[in-house]
Structure 1
Amino acid sequence: MRKWTAEDVPSQRGRVAVVTGANTGIGFETAKVLAARGASVVLAVRDRDKGERAAARITGAASGAEVTVTHLDLASLKSVRAAAEELRAGHPKIDLLINNAGVLFTGKGTTSDGFELRWGTNHLGHFALTGLLLEKMLPVPGSRVVTVSSLGHRVRARIDFDDPRSERSYDRIAAYGRSKLANLLFTYELQRRLPGIGKTIAVAAHPGGAHTDLMRNAPASFRAFATIAGPLVQRPAMGALPTLRAAADPGVLGGEYFGPAGPGEIWGHPRRVSSSEQSHDLAVQRRLWTVSEELTGVRFPV
């Protein structure tokens, strides 16, 4: 079977792509390829200075690339609303929204709205951003919402609707797994609510094992594994390929999930993969949607 690479990304000229967390790692590599293919790319980042430096690196590597920066702190619903307002005002349409940014193994913390940090950033922040931008995507043929999940969605992941703020119990590995499971539940439920053929679709991806800045706060056991498995752990450019395929492959269908083709989906070129049985639970998908709307105050135009 032929291996899918960044060279397979078709021309993106005339398209507008918003990539969260695009100043480094997988988000940066995703934005770089899209810009090189002609997309007008928005780096939606928490640190504007780092975003501007990342934009300069992209434009320096690809002559004529169009890259702008928008401030976005997914751990603040106020910031999410401000970023969405700026993006809606600055762009008559949005073709791609890539929900890439994430918090991995930082210590226990809360968002400015009082949610557990991983849950509030990885899921609720992206849920709200998508809902606030979707009206700019629905009229655009071929537009896509791509949300980046993780192999971690299978690890001690369970949505506890009785304790959405993790006030009664907390474990950072379980909290991360829960947020990545929520990314998939959200993608599948969004796809079911979208209008249909030829319009916006929702797709998910995961990078496998990749060397990124997210690992800097990982538990010692995870860092030790990454050291031992070094030859199998991908560089960010390879880790970005599943996201790029989900975003740009003309053959992608709504509700699909992409990850590396190698053993354990840790490394390799991207292909369609499966997610956990729990992620396909319709009742959990619908309940998560309702709870997320209540917690964020964002209603989707679908």
Structure 2
Amino acid sequence: MTSWTASDIPDQSGRTAIVTGSTSGLGRVTAAELARHGAHVILAVRNPAAGEATARDIRAQSPGAQLTVRTLDVASLDSVRTFASQITSELEAVDLLVNNAGAENLGARRTTVDGFEFHLGTNMLGHFALTGLLLDTLERGREPRVVSLSSLTHKRAHLDFDDLQWERRFNANRAYGASKLATTVFGIELDRRLRAAGSPVISTIAHPGLSRSGFIDHAWKDRGRIAQLMGRLFSVIATQPTEQGALNQLHAATAPGVGGGDFFGPGRFGETRGPVTRVHASTEARDPGVGRRLWATAEALTGVTYLSTR
């Protein structure tokens, strides 16, 4: 694939896009570029004040940008349901859902307000519920897409369905990787079910490689000054700018010719950096049996049921 840049994003005029976690990092870049290319972007954010500040900044860069701020905390099913209810009552159709919001907790085990392990609940279960609750509205969209944000860490991860919530032996790094594996499994299984249902919605997946999205600073913030300096040095040497990392999800969201189940990530240095390229999910992520089991588990945990199979 030739190098794809933000300049290659097609005109998005007339399209409505929802970007979760859009006040910083990859989500902010994604929202700004979609708005710059004409989309009406709904900033789905946990902190509405930060969302309004982000909207002002984007408008300053792109006068006339169409932006709406709505409160959404994907770590709370009540918040997800409230947000989805607002969207479905206000809008006839949504064309794009970018499930970008994520959480990385490198401390002790935490849970969401619903009692889910924090990584799993935030990175996957909240977006699973959100997608299901918005699916009818998405199906009325123009060439609608759902983009799920994966991570390189999914390739080293494993889903232990006997301890999916990490209640026995918690390890923050492994829990984060497992949540990103779950997100990848969800994106692929969503594609299978959308195809089987004959839905116009396509499900795509992207990962940013090693990008300066704020997660690295967060990962080192409680480890002392020397560790923080080492983390920043690593960031400068080994990572790529956030704008480059975000191109992968922007490509998945907007590029012509993208198909259901397509997965995009950086094309160089072991998918850590470089131009947007089609990449492969792990063997476990592509396993239909894992997909079916995770889907059933997510339905049971969230109470949101959709695209059921016989």
Task: State the alpha-carbon separation in 2 of the partners of residues 238 and 223 from structure 1.
Answer: 23
Contact 2:99 2:147 in 1 (8 A): yes
Structure 1 98/210 Cα, relative in aligned 2: closer, same or farther at 3 Å? Answer: same
Moved over 4 A (4+): 195-198, 219-223
CA apart distance, 1:222: 9.8
C-alpha displacement at 1:40, in angstroms? Answer: 0.3
- Counterpart residue number, 1:9: 9
| Corresponding position: 1:271 with 2:277 | yes
CA displacement, residues 54-88 of structure 1 (integer Å, 9 cap, x when unaligned)? 01111111111100111111111011101111111
Partner of 1:118: 119
Shift in Å at residue 53 of structure 1?
Answer: 0.4
Partner SS state of residue 265, structure 1: coil
Q: What SS does the corresponding residue of 1:41 show, helix, strand or coil?
A: strand
Mapped partners of 1:80, 1:125: distance in 2: 7
CA gap 1:168/1:226 in 2 versus in 1, 3 angstroms: same
Shift of 1:46: 0.6
The aligned runs of 1:285-300 (5 Å cut-off) are: 285-300=291-306
Q: How does 1:131-142 map to 2 (within 5 A)?
A: 131-142=132-143
Query: TM-score with structure 2 length normalisation?
Result: 0.93
Q: Is 2:41 the partner of 1:41? A: yes
* Residue ranges of structure 1 left out of the alignment (5+ in a row): none
Describe the shift of the 1:24–1:83 C-alpha distance in structure 2 as closer, same or farther (beyond 3 A).
same
Contact 1:110–1:117 (Cα < 8 Å) also in 2: yes
Deviations 1:151-210 (A, max 9, x none): 01023x111212232211210011001000011110111111114778110000000011
In structure 2, how many angstroms separate the alpha carbons of the residues matched to 1:22 and 1:109? 23
Whole-angstrom distance in 1 between the partners of 2:203 and 2:126: 17
Which secondary structure state, in structure 1, belongs to the residue aligned with residue 139 of structure 2?
coil
Task: Please give the alpha-carbon distance, in whole angstroms, between the structure 2 residues aligned to 1:102 and 1:160.
Answer: 21
Aligned to 1:182: 182
Once the two structures are aligned, what percentage of the paired residues are identical?
Answer: 45
Residue 172 of structure 2: aligned partner: 172
What's the offset of the Cα at 1:140?
2.6
Deviations 1:220-255 (A, max 9, x none): 689846623623411111110000000000110100
Give the aligned residue type for 1:128: A
TM-score, normalised to structure 1, is: 0.95
| Partner Cα distance (1:164, 1:299) in 2 | 19
- SS, match of residue 11 in structure 1: coil
Q: Cα distance 1:223–1:185, how it changes in 2: closer, same or farther (>3 A)?
A: farther
**For the residues of structure 2 that align with 1:29 and 1:43, how far apart are their CA atoms?**
12
Equivalent position of 1:217 in the other structure:
218
What SS does the corresponding residue of 1:83 show, helix, strand or coil? Answer: helix
Task: Note if contact 1:256-1:272 (Cα within 8 Å) is conserved in structure 2.
Answer: yes
Change (3 A) 1:298 1:222: farther
Q: Give, in angstroms, the shift of residue 217 of structure 1.
A: 2.9
Deviations 1:99-130 (A, max 9, x none): 00101234221000101100100010110100
Following TM superposition, by how much is the alpha carbon of 1:139 offset from its aligned partner in structure 2, in angstroms? 2.9
CA contact (8 A) 1:134 1:301 kept: no
What letter is aligned with 1:10? P
User: What are the residue-to-residue correspondences of 1:61-210 with 2, within 5 Å?
Assistant: 61-107=61-107, 108-155=109-156, 157-195=157-195, 199-210=200-211
Give the Cα–Cα distance (whole angstroms) in 1 for the partners of residues 240 and 5 of structure 2.
14
In 1, the alpha carbon distance for the partners of 2:303 and 2:126 equals: 11
**Contact persistence 1:259–1:271 (CA under 8 A):** yes
- Kindly tell me the number of residue pairs found equivalent between the two proteins: 301
In structure 2, the partner of 1:252 is: 258
The answer (yes or no) to whether the contact 2:216–2:235 under 8 Å persists in 1 is no
Report the CA distance shift for 1:195/1:139 in structure 2 as closer, same or farther (over 3 A): farther
- For 2:116 and 2:232, the matched residues in 1 are separated by 29
Q: What amino acid is aligned across from residue 58 of structure 2 in structure 1?
A: I
Is 1:283 aligned to residue 289 of structure 2?
yes
Partner amino acid, structure 1, of 2:145? R
RMSD: 1.8
- Give distance in 1, aligned partners of 2:235 and 2:214: 17
Matched residue SS, 1:173: helix
Deviates more, 1:105-114 or 1:238-247: 105-114
